Structure formats: C-alpha cells, structure tokens
A and B are shown apart, each in its own frame.
Chain A
Amino acid sequence: MSLDVNLDTGSSDAAQAQHEAAHLHLDVLTDEAITIIREVAAECENPVLLFSGGKDSAVLLHLALLAFAPARLPFPVMHVDTGHNFAEVIEYRDRLVADWGVRLVVASVQESIDAGRVVEDTGPRASRNRLQSVTLLDAIGEHGFDAAFGGGRRDEDKARAKERILSFRDRQGRWDPRQQRPEPWGVLNARIRKGEHLRAFPLSNWTEVDIWNYIALHEVPLPSIYYSHTRTVVERDGMLLSVGGPVVLEDGEAPFDAVVRYRTVGDASCTGAVESTARTVQDVIAEVAAARITERGATRADDTFSESAMEDRKREGYF
C-alpha cells in the first residue's frame, strides 16, 4: 500500500452524492481513529492489534496501515484462535496478512486447553468464546504487549458504551468500569506499570453502518461469509447456526439449507447467520440501514445469556 494509491473507486457518482453526509461523518471518524492509532503507537513500547478476521478488525487494520503509510505497520497483529473457526475466515486471514505484509501472531485456545489453563465446557452447546479471555491475557503477558488495539465499538453493547478509548487493565487483565481514567478532550493517558496493559479502541465512535460505508469507500476485502450464500443451518433459540462445524445437533433438530450471510464473525459455535440475499457491499449497506435488530442481538448467543453478559466478560479481560 502506498500513499499514492487512490482507494476511492468503490461507488458510482449517484450513490456517492446520496451518501455525502454520511461520508463527511466517515472522514471525521477516520481522522479520529488514525490519530488514536498513531498516539498509542507513539506512547507504548510494544503494542499489538487484535485481528479476528471480522469486519471491524479488517477496518481497524486498514486504518492502521493508512496511519503509518508509506512506512510499514510498526507492530504485529494477533489472532486469538478458538479452533472453532469458519474455514473461509482462516483462509481470508492468511491471504490478507500476506497481501498487506503484516506480521501475524496466533494465540491458540486449543493450546490453553491442552496446557490445562482452561477447562472446556462439554455438551452440545459448549462454546469456547469465554475461554478466549484467558488465552488473550496469557498471550499479552507472554509477548509483553503493553497495549492491544481492538475493534470494539460503543454502539455494540450497553457495557461497551461506557468504555474509554484507551482503557486500563490491571495485572490480572481486569476492567473496572467504576475506576476508569477520565479522557477529557480525548487526550490519551498511556502511563502504566509493568504487568499492566491498555486496550485501545480506535473505532469507539463508529456504528455498524459507518463500518460498512468505510468498507465500500476503501474496498476493504472481507471473508466471503459476510455476503449472501447458501448454507446448511439449524435453528436454535431463534438463531441460524451453521451445521458441520463445532455445532452438535440435538434431538429433534432438523438441518436445512438457507440463503444467509453473517453480520458478525466470531466463534463458530455461537455466531448465528441471518437470512439475507445481500451479495454486494451496497446490498449490505441497504440491509443494515433497514435492520430492526442489533448485530449482536441477532447473531451472538453469548450476549443473550443475561442482561450484563458483556459487562461480566469484559471485567474478566474479554475483548
């Protein structure tokens, strides 16, 4: 990627006029995110960018490349691999890091299980989602990372709405929502002691629509499962879960073929697909703009456990 590349080839003149106000907003968000990424990279000795292969982390990585262009990305990216992946996402991850020339670190939940650091739930509904926190914190400690960029957005969840842009984690990796550092004017205070670390959220002020507008404007590649395709699924608790991976069929459940796409990409055991015929970025933007259910509500079984599921997981060190 060079400074001279004109990335703005995504949409027609008519569509662009329609989205002019939205793009003005996107410019503001882009300036803000790039500024945050540069500041954290300047203040911290050993940052890392958390990369799941999902759309938010793809946008985050793209912004990080722009922030330092024409120089290379001055830090690695890390994938916390639950072992319960969509094959398309791993293929996409490996292609993207090769094409964009970034260094990839993989932290494996399977290795955490094998090493006895975590105990895996058993049963047909077991998910490794919550186990990721331990693997993530272990990897941060092992590599000595003092800051981890994440693609978290305040509009995703009511606990995330309270999150700082630069968020302090104690030696145990815990988030204390009652003891957060104030961030007047967005001035970032990156001072920590050894063993503590920071989480940085450059996309804090972005919404799902902003993410898709950026993907359209900059033609950010995504895993194919974000677009409409036919998949064998089973309906469970109102969600369409993919069959053939970690999801184990229960008695009476009948798999069927459906035309779907994924609105979020997470652990395959608890990420649901939505019925959709959206085959292009513009189709998806139209669909998201008309959506009546939040992306996490529609697609994440892990967030519907309880009213404060996300707050509880974040306190333990989750993304």
Chain B
Amino acid sequence: MSTATATALRGTLRIATAGSVDDGKSTLIGRLLHDTKTVFEDQLSAVIKASRRYGDGETNLALLTDGLRAEREQGITIDVAHRYFATPERSFIVADTPGHAQYTRNMVTGASTADVAIVLVDARHGVVEQTRRHAFIATLLAVKGIVVAVNKMDLIDWDEAEFDIIAKEVEAYVEALPTPVPVVAIPLSALLGDNVVGGSVHTPWYDGPPLLQLLEQFDNQPRIAVGPRLHVQRVIRPQGGEFADFRGYAGVLSGGTLAVGDTVTVQPNGITSTVRALHRAGRPVERAEIGHALVVELADKVDVARGDVLVGADSATPAHVGETVEIDICWMIDAPLTVGSRYWFKHGSRTGRATVTAIDHCHDLATLERVPTDRLGLNDLGHIRLQLSEPIVADRYVDNPDGGRLILIDEATNTTAGAAMVTSIAP
C-alpha cells in the first residue's frame, strides 16, 4: 500500500467496512468517531440511554450507526449507514455495511463507492467464510486497498503468532483472486481503542501505524487512465438572452483528464470536435480531472444528446461500442434471474431494455469455484450475457469502473435488481 508524499493534499477517502456478524464493525466506526471527537454529547448520552434499554452492559458504540429501530432491537446492522469524520489531514466518508450473508447486496452497495475496504476479523475465530466473501467482493468492485482489522486482540492476549496467521492467510487469499489489491493487516481492539486512533502498549511487535494514520496516508489517486469519457446527462441550452447561442454538455468526467483544446469524439455516432470551453460549478476551468462535474462546450455544432458519450480522441484505451455485453452481476431481488428474463438497464445516462441470453456460472464465494447454474437468486454473484436494445459506449470495469458499471431494473416493481460490472462488449 503506497503512501502519498507528506506535502500532497489528500482528497476525501471513502471507506467501506465489512466482515462477519459481531466482528465489531459498528463498534470500530463508533470508536473512530468517538476518538476523533466526532461524537456529540447528545448523541453519546442517547447511546448510553439506549445501551441500558437494550441490555448492553456498557456503552455500545455500535448504536451510533445502527440507526433504525429494527437494527437497534435486533442488535445487528441491516442497511448501509453513512458516517462522516474529518481530521486535519483529510475528510472521510464511511459506509458501515451489514455482515449477514442475507444482506450481501447491501455490502456490495457500500463497497461500490469505496476507495478502501476495512475487513474485520474476530481474532478468536480467524478467517471465516464472510472474510473471504467480502475480500472477494471488494476486489471485484475494484477498491484500491484492503485493510484487515484483526479485532478483539485483547481476547487472545495480543498473541503475535495468531495475528500473523490471520494476516498471511488473507494476504495469500487476496493474492490468488482474479483482481488482487494491496492488503495491510492491523492488530487492534475496537472496544478498547488499541491501534485505532492511537497506538497500543500491548503490541510492541507491531511496527505499522494505527488504523487512522494508515487511512490518513492512503493514496486514493485513480489507478488507471483509459482516457477521458463524459456521459452526457443533459444538454444545457439557455434559449434566449445573452446566452442564446450557448450549448453545453453536462456530465461527470471519468477515465482521464480533459483540457480546453482537446479533441473528442461523440459516441456512438463517431463525430469529432474540439473542446472550446469547460465549466465546473459555474466557473470556467482550463483543465478538468476525474470526478469533476462539468459543462463542456464544443467548437462545432454537432448533434449530441443525453446518453451520448464524449470520448477523448487520443485515449490510451478506446471506448467500446456495442449492444452485446458480458457482465459480473450481484443479484439484489428475490425474483431469480433466468435466461430470457427482461429488464431495464441503466448505463451512464443511457437507459434501454436488456435480455439475459446466457448464464455462464455463479461464483461460490466460499470456495471461489465457478458453479454452472440456470438461475441467480438474491445475493448471488454470477457471470452472465445480455443483449441490449441499443448500443452503449462502455469500458471493461477493470479498465475504468466508471464506464464499466450498469444496473438492471425490475420491470414489474421498478426496483434496482442487479449491480453489474462489464467484462466484455461486442457489437
């Protein structure tokens, strides 16, 4: 895991927590919030009051994030909760995700936007099925690093050998995955605070930083640059007044930087033009980075509509245009996905119909085996093929996650049914 230079400003870090039930995810976040002075007095007194009501012996910091009545009554995390804290170094957005296998879809959602996944392991139990499952999902979703928080070290007397076994097992497991990422392990106690914000007197054998310091220094720069892409969300046309001739294309930049004067191709129709001006948050800019919300003016009057994509003409990797796609998908609804099923798809700003033409396999998350199947059920992860009603301009997810992701929407209920990562696109 690389460390940014001391002088470089570090941007917002998005974190997802994962791990099995009762590994202490919510307690760890509660500890981070508490020890960075992010918890307010009225929140703390409400937590103390609630801890007594639910019969938790001491102040249960998990109640800081388990906000729904059902969660507090059952003592579990059901849905993703978002929490925020900042240090003088950087700001953090934390998605606290559920540990139960039946809420895997919520873990996928929480990890989808994360730079870093913190996978908790109960030191007493070591690596369990959920550890492997969540590490696999995190790498599939292309987090930039995994922190293995070996929690409850106090309950195994801060045993270095036990810690090493767990750390090496996760490292070896992730190394063998299709898309490995760097792994760092930390021995800690979320309950007592050791190695969370400050260090620990119990781990003289551990020479790494405490968790917070590791997160403060984590380099979250994009790992890949395919070249600039901008999915047009909306055409900005003032229609009258001093900006009567203004025509701008609004969208978020992904895949690479874009500057005034750059040549872009409008896909899928293939027309080429030059960037005349860029605007970000209402102000002109000469150059834009990945993630910036832009309005792009082109030098030529070309036909551009919502759903089209502006692609840098000199992209390192050309964007693929096609309506036959292969995807990894996490299934998120009860009604199973089968061959011949039809859904809405949304990719970038383009929506259309999708028909399932093949189910290649389902990932057995415990063994990592590819199991042949004719259906995907709730929380299954599988590899399938889709025929789309219209072409999309896409990247493979491993090349550019922003251009390689799509969702399927159930036609009957309109709910989001699947989260998909493109592995190949063909005409």
Contacts and interface: CB of A to CB of B under 8 A. Distances in A.
Interface of A: 1-8, 20-22, 24-25, 27-32, 34-35, 38-39, 41-42, 65-72, 154-155, 157-162, 177-178, 180-187, 189, 191-193, 204-205, 207, 209, 291-294, 297-298, 307-308, 311
B12 A28 contact: yes
A307 B414 CA distance: 32
Interface residues on B, range: 35 or more
Given A20-B9, A21-B91, A189 B68 contact: no
Contact of B84 (A4, A155, A177, A307): A155
Nearest to A35: B293
Given A31-B292, A189-B416, 13 more contacts: A7-B282, A25-B90, A39-B233, A42-B349, A66-B282, A71-B236, A155-B84, A158-B68, A162-B80, A184-B330, A185-B112, A189-B414, A193-B414
B42 interface: yes
Interface stretch (B127-135, B152-160, B238-246, B361-369): B238-246
Contacts of A204: 82
Nearest to A25: B91
19 contacts: A2-B242, A3-B279, A3-B284, A5-B283, A7-B283, A22-B86, A71-B236, A71-B243, A159-B68, A162-B68, A182-B109, A184-B330, A185-B113, A186-B112, A187-B416, A189-B414, A191-B409, A293-B40, A307-B46
B41 interface: yes
B109 A183 contact: yes
A178 to B, nearest CB: 7
Nearest to A189: B416
B282 A1 contact: yes
B291 A161 contact: no
Nearest to A307: B50
B83 A161 contact: yes
Contact of A28 (B11, B41, B349): B11
Given A42-B233, A204-B82, A21 B281 contact: no
A223 B66 CA distance: 35
B283 A6 contact: yes
Nearest to A298: B42
B65 A68 contact: no
Contacts, number: 190
Contacts of A192: 414
B105 interface: yes
B81 interface: yes
A186 B409 contact: no
A193 B412 CA distance: 10
B293 A31 contact: yes
Interface of B: 9-12, 40-43, 46, 49-50, 64-70, 72, 78-84, 86, 88-91, 93, 105-106, 108-109, 112-113, 233-234, 236-239, 242-243, 246, 250-252, 279-284, 291-293, 295, 306, 330, 332, 344, 346, 349, 401-402, 405-407, 409, 414-416, 419
B67 A158 contact: yes
Given A66-B282, A184-B108, A192-B414, A21 B79 contact: no
B254 to A, nearest CB: 11
Contact of A25 (B79, B86, B237): B86
B281 A34 contact: yes
A34 B67 contact: no
A184 B405 contact: yes
A169 to B, nearest CB: 13
Contacts of A297: 40, 42-43
